[in-house]
Amino acid sequence: QGLYPHQVLAHINGATTSQDGVSLVYPRPSRNVSLRLQGLREKDSGSYRCSVNVQDKQGTSRGHDSKTLKLDVWVPPAPPSCHLLGAPRVGTNVTLSCKSPRSKPAALYQWERLQPSVEVFFAPVLDEVSGQLILTNLSRASSGTYRCVATNQMGSASCELTLSVTDPSKGRMAGAVIGVLLGVLILSVAVFCLMRFQK
């Protein structure tokens, strides 16, 4: 039932017609007209109405009644996507995000570091509803493999990413050392040339 209601099963004058995967739980005749749905999918969610018309042997209507119930089909989380937001440098902050494109009911998220050592994260650095993990004041020890697990009552799915924290100060130090060595080399060549010129 909805904007475009359609019939899934009918039993009229002893003949039953139904869509694929739909059947009566108990064979006719029976006072119990429970419906069996097999191979449920998320799109099967919606309102279902059962209408009963009672007729006598002459085909005269002796009563009519209907009831409606709502079916909400749950699905496990689809594989989430893991993303890094920010520049992973020593002393900076980054956010690891995780989101499943489909989950019913909505998934909750858990982050953990797998390598080089196992570490599980909790609030306030972890928001289990949005799937975001905030890492502050990064160090080289923050580098490693991180995994996010999306979970609901129907199952779970996960994704991983590798965080590599760089240290800009080491690059500057290396540059300074190279500069000093280059300066010494130039000075040595100049002194050598001057001495040769004086001779």
Dihedrals φ, ψ of 5, to 5°? -65, 145
Per-residue pLDDT of the chain (199 residues; tens, 9 = 90+): 555 678 899 888 778 888 899 999 988 778 788 899 999 999 899 999 998 888 777 777 778 888 899 999 999 999 999 999 999 999 999 999 999 999 999 999 999 999 899 999 999 999 999 999 999 999 999 999 999 999 999 999 999 999 999 998 765 554 544 555 566 566 666 656 667 666 6
Residue closest to 82 by CA, chosen among 67, 95, 91, 93? 95
Owner of token pair 């540059």: 175
What pTM, to 2 d.p., does this model score?
0.70
3-state secondary structure of 161: strand
List every span in the chain annotated with CATH 2.60.40.10: 81-167
Does the N-terminal peptide bond of residue 79 adopt cis geometry, omega within 30 degrees of 0?
Answer: no
- What one-letter code names the amino acid at 35? L
Quick one: CA dihedral 179, 180, 183, 185, positive or negative? negative
State which fold the 81-167 domain adopts: Immunoglobulin-like (2.60.40)
3-state secondary structure of 57: coil
Structure tokens at 31: 């006072």
Residue 109 in contact with residue 95, Cβ under 8 Å? Answer: no
